[in-house]
Structure 1
Amino acid sequence: MSDLDTSGLQGVTLKVYLYAVKKNGAVGPREVMRSANLSSPSVAYRHLQKLETMGLLTKDEWGNYIVKEKVAIRGYVWVGRILVPNPMLYSIIFLGILITELVVLAIHFSVETQEFKTFFLLLTLITVAALILFAVEGLRMLAKIRIRQAD
């Protein structure tokens, strides 16, 4: 992954770039228009040109665009060809912590004091709250970059 200037990589341009990465091949303005739900091929063409100017895409001899390289995008991490928001990863970590807490609570429930049970219940509630907050934020970030599946 490269550290190119990705400040212009947001909104529709980001969606066009993500489609090109998911497609993993040559993409043209018409298919980008359909996948990113744009109004016309010229709008898609403009965003493809912008990505070419940024150095993220190259144009082949038939006028199609190919991803030159994947770049790091702030707030997201690449998992294969899928862009996952950081909060989604945090929510998965908190899910693992929650499962561990519930297993420990189930094992120790019958032998521990009421104070331990109360403390552990509060700890579990805090973990659930963190899990929900990160999951909701991650889903909101996913909705912003949602595109149609690559054919």
Structure 2
Amino acid sequence: MSEAPDSGKIEDQLKGKTLQVYMYMIKRKEAVGVREVQRDLSFSSPSVANYHIEKLVSLALVSQDEYGRYYVVQKVQVGVLQAFVNIGGLAVPRLLFFAAFFTTMLVAYLVLSFSSLDVFAIGFAVAGAAAFWAETARVWIKRPVA
């Protein structure tokens, strides 16, 4: 097997439909065939799916088994993928955890300190939670759809 290309080359090549195929293969967690990829991603022909799979093979991210099916051999975090973490096959924005934390802390403060609330503390907590939720939504909208 050839040496893995540098991250700059992967960054340049891993976008558009190639990134869509890569994300699809990561989510599947099993070897897939060219026609499966073509059908599930609604590509116009198997040759389009094959082109993008071969691109992933040349980047040393995907390999072929003895049955002609392809599987992910290397997971990389480049470009938009750096903003996500995979949990059970679902790509979740990393900022979601911070948004949930700030929201939980705000609710806990409101419940536990109801008799002596500080307007500045509430303001900072709301601003922090709102900022993290807004950034989480922005990253979610830009996610690669597989």
TM range (shorter): 0.7 to 0.9
Matched with 1:121 is 122
C-alpha change, 1:25 and 1:61, in structure 2 (3 Å) is: same
Q: Any unmatched runs of 5+ in structure 1?
A: none
Conservation of the 8 A alpha-carbon contact between 1:77 and 1:83: no
Aligned-partner Cα distance in 1 for 2:49–2:118: 58
**What is the TM-score when the length of structure 2 is the normalising length?**
0.78
Matched with 1:140 is 141
C-alpha change, 1:122 and 1:81, in structure 2 (3 Å) is: closer
C-alpha change, 1:118 and 1:17, in structure 2 (3 Å) is: same
Q: How big is the shift at 1:97? A: 1.8
Matched with 2:78 is 73
Alignment map for 1:1-151 (pairs within 5 Å): 4-5=6-7, 6-7=10-11, 8-74=13-79, 75-80=82-87, 82=89, 84=91, 88-110=93-115, 112=116, 117-142=118-143, 145-147=144-146
C-alpha change, 1:94 and 1:13, in structure 2 (3 Å) is: same
> 38-47 vs 76-85, which deviates more?
76-85
C-alpha change, 1:109 and 1:78, in structure 2 (3 Å) is: closer
Q: Any unmatched runs of 5+ in structure 2?
A: none
C-alpha change, 1:62 and 1:84, in structure 2 (3 Å) is: closer
* One-letter code aligned to 1:131: F
Task: Report SS of the residue matched to 2:136.
Answer: helix
Conservation of the 8 A alpha-carbon contact between 2:63 and 2:72: yes
Q: How big is the shift at 1:66? A: 2.2
Conservation of the 8 A alpha-carbon contact between 2:63 and 2:73: yes
Between 1 and 2, higher relative CO (CA 8 Å, sep ≥ 6) is seen in: 1
* One-letter code aligned to 1:121: I
Q: How big is the shift at 1:92? A: 2.4
Conservation of the 8 A alpha-carbon contact between 1:17 and 1:51: yes
Aligned-partner Cα distance in 2 for 1:131–1:79: 19
Structure exhibiting the larger radius of gyration computed from Cα positions: 1
Total equivalences in the alignment: 138
* One-letter code aligned to 1:130: A
Report Cα offsets for 1:22-68 as digits up to 9, x if no partner: 22222111110122221111000100111111111122343322222
